[in-house]
Amino acid sequence: MREGRTKRTTKETEIDVWLDLDGTGTYDVETGIGFLDHMLEQLSRHSLMDLKVRAKGDLHIDFHHTTEDSGIAIGKAFSQALGDMKGIKRYASSYIPMDETLTRVSLDISHRPYLIWKVNFTRDKLGDMDTELFKEWFQAFAQAAGITLHVENLYGENNHHIVESCFKALARALRDAVEIDPRKSDAVPSTKGVLGGSL
């Protein structure tokens, strides 16, 4: 069973994450940030990854620490669930349209974390959440999960559609990348025999 569990406690946040890569997209998310909850629910539903998140943070200051630390905790649980990564397809891309918006995500589950973020917003906030924090979440997740992650909004006008398409495209790409390849289910997808470091 490919499950991961992470508890992260700092002076700023307390976060508990459990996930199952081979789930059905069932979610139970409470971060104290309504819009972030909505995005993490989309991540679960469209990746078919079961996800439970409980986060308490210093929201009286701002949403930065809770957003970033939830990305770290989910990324660590994701990496833990993958184990030795034998048999995974490793690479995937997804294009997600939402009305006038189109976003592309391409990724490599490589243990070589890197984020390319080509997403611009025309509003400072969505609900109570600063739009600049979405990059922080993706950066934290990519770093902790060990993923090379490229996120590009190709076009769009509605800021809600833009960020939601980013999370949905990530979800669909993750779903494809963690699938077991029936042609090579017993091997790590690398000529080195391991993932991590210089490939």
In a domain, 156, yes or no: yes
Instruction: Fill in the DSSP letter of residue 88.
Output: B
In a domain, 65, yes or no: yes
User: Consecutive sets of 10 residues in the chain, 199 residues long: mean pLDDT of each?
Assistant: 96 97 98 97 98 97 97 98 92 98 97 97 94 98 98 98 98 97 74 55
Q: Considering only CA atoms, which of 105, 86, 114 is closest in space to residue 187?
A: 86
Q: Count of domains in the chain?
A: 1
Looking at residue 199, its pLDDT comes to: 41
Looking at residue 189, its pLDDT comes to: 64
**CATH code assigned at 172:** 3.30.230.40
Looking at residue 186, its pLDDT comes to: 77
Looking at residue 188, its pLDDT comes to: 73
Residues 6 or more apart in contact with residue 3 via CB below 8 angstroms: 18, 19, 20, 21, 81
In a domain, 97, yes or no: yes
Q: Which residue range forms the structural domain that includes residue 43?
A: 3-177
The string of pLDDT tens digits covering residues 50-67 is 999 999 999 999 999 999
